Structure 1
């Protein structure tokens, strides 16, 4: 495993200067003013989401650029790489909470997995609130912000956050239409989780299919029904994303990154990366310096 320092990882207590707090809620303008210098690639070890009620500029999540627009909302899972280029006119709300925030509160420790927008999947994490829901969004976020300022009602704050997430899910839904076939969706979701945990060591869909007790053909069919690509593409995309994250860290040379990602040699890694992006690892690094 790589021992050198990597992309800075921010934790919740460093954001809100409270080592005991697992939740932070603020008006976006105040948050940006407080952290105006945080405009470098960084990761969070907490869930982070923002509602823009106004603003301009852009931000990058895992190297995908998103232009800000009014009533855009974005969600980030722990470990994603983020930076921003705001123009200073942003208003809205920001919410940060640790993965452990609901640990002693919910019987189902995997409850947050039901929310597609907390999955870290790029096609699920940035969207615009429909016009018919915008007034409600501001009221609900502001009510949650006010509730969060009273630490004596900690359980009520947790319930309020869950209500907020459930409200978002009620109108956003999911592009994967998980309710149409709960069995297939569960397999698809479990496959994504297995890939996230094992992508450095396990590169063959067949090995994952065995763990899911289905055939490789069945796994491919399920993946194609949800994302239009075969199961192997999910593995390749996850390896590629990790390569990009590591390349941002200039303390690591290309050979170290290839070893970290279990490529046999530097040249094989370079061929893989260029085939996927059209750039060599060095060219990608220069373009993202």
Structure 2
């Protein structure tokens, strides 16, 4: 376990190198934390007690238990709690997802990644399943992997039934699309070019565009834009990098091109966004 320090946020790793999944009780002494990212894993936080706020990528969510938070590996977040929290933390690494043979579990994880916060009406089954997962994890050698996968599948499935948005028609998530999302998840190497990613995926920009439309209803440029803009906002909010430095980091040809791109999608210039936030 360790952390990497940046100007205004850290990159934390709460797992050991060999651990692909981890379950623990939420630390009761947590009140306020500094902004931080996670080192290449999802973090699910389920709270049954506590109050305050939880900020994810600049958006503050009220801690109103029972509540389930989902923090993706590329997101910066921090806590501002007013009293003692109670709940669970579940960490899932990419390797766990890759090794999982259950396609339904993979689909549940993909659907969960589209949310940041669930306010649950019925927390009883979710609480029970988190407790069972923790009990399995605390066994020698962290218990039985098949049992853990089964409990996790049940937990995600039941949680998704209380998702805050209407269920959308399922689309085909092809291997190319999944690998595209995986490449975009590496925020340190984001590149403002669909053709760049098509080359890495050994396909054409036209085919990647078609694949993204089948998977999401959006073209590849829109899928890429969501990741570019998300990282741009994080860098504007949590670092003192100049607009030109951010443009270079995201592989825009120059600062003016980045400013126009940001304003077209967000409705304000990067400087104005940074000042308002």
Q: Deviations over 1:240-284 (max 9, x none)?
A: 111112223434222111111111211221222222223322233
Q: Deviations over 1:36-62 (max 9, x none)?
A: 342x22101133111122333322223
Q: Is the 8 A contact 2:37 2:77 kept in 1?
A: yes
- SS of the equivalent of 1:262 reads coil
1:260 aligns with 249
Q: Is the 8 A contact 1:12 1:97 kept in 2?
A: no
Deviation at 1:212, TM superposition (A): 7.1
Q: Is the 8 A contact 1:71 1:128 kept in 2?
A: yes
Describe how 1:169-248 pairs up with structure 2 within 5 A: 169-171=156-158, 172=160, 175-178=167-170, 184-186=172-174, 188-196=177-185, 199-203=190-194, 207=198, 211=203, 215=207, 218-219=210-211, 221-223=213-215, 226=216, 229-248=218-237
Instruction: Give the TM-score normalised by the residue count of structure 2.
Output: 0.74
Q: Is the 8 A contact 1:5 1:251 kept in 2?
A: no
Find the aligned partners of 1:111 and 1:252 in 2 and give their Cα distance: 41
Matched, 1:154 2:146: no
Q: Is the 8 A contact 2:108 2:157 kept in 1?
A: no
Q: Deviations over 1:193-238 (max 9, x none)?
A: 3544675152359948972797467446425xx4x54432111121
Q: Is the 8 A contact 1:77 1:120 kept in 2?
A: no
Instruction: Give the TM-score normalised by the residue count of structure 1.
Output: 0.72
Matched, 1:27 2:29: no
**Greater helix content:** 1
Q: Deviations over 1:167-215 (max 9, x none)?
A: 133332694554xx6xx22265444335446751523599489727974
1:204–1:153 distance in 2 versus 1, CA, 3 Å: closer
- SS of the equivalent of 2:24 reads strand
What is the root-mean-square deviation of aligned Cα atoms in Å?
A: 3.8
Deviation at 1:139, TM superposition (A): 1.8
| Unmatched segments (≥5 aa) in structure 2 | none
| Unmatched segments (≥5 aa) in structure 1 | none
Find the aligned partners of 1:199 and 1:285 in 2 and give their Cα distance: 21
1:145–1:212 distance in 2 versus 1, CA, 3 Å: farther
Find the aligned partners of 1:102 and 1:219 in 2 and give their Cα distance: 21
- SS of the equivalent of 1:211 reads coil
1:213–1:229 distance in 2 versus 1, CA, 3 Å: closer
2:66 aligns with 71
Aligned residues: 262
Find the aligned partners of 1:285 and 1:279 in 2 and give their Cα distance: 10
Find the aligned partners of 1:69 and 1:117 in 2 and give their Cα distance: 23
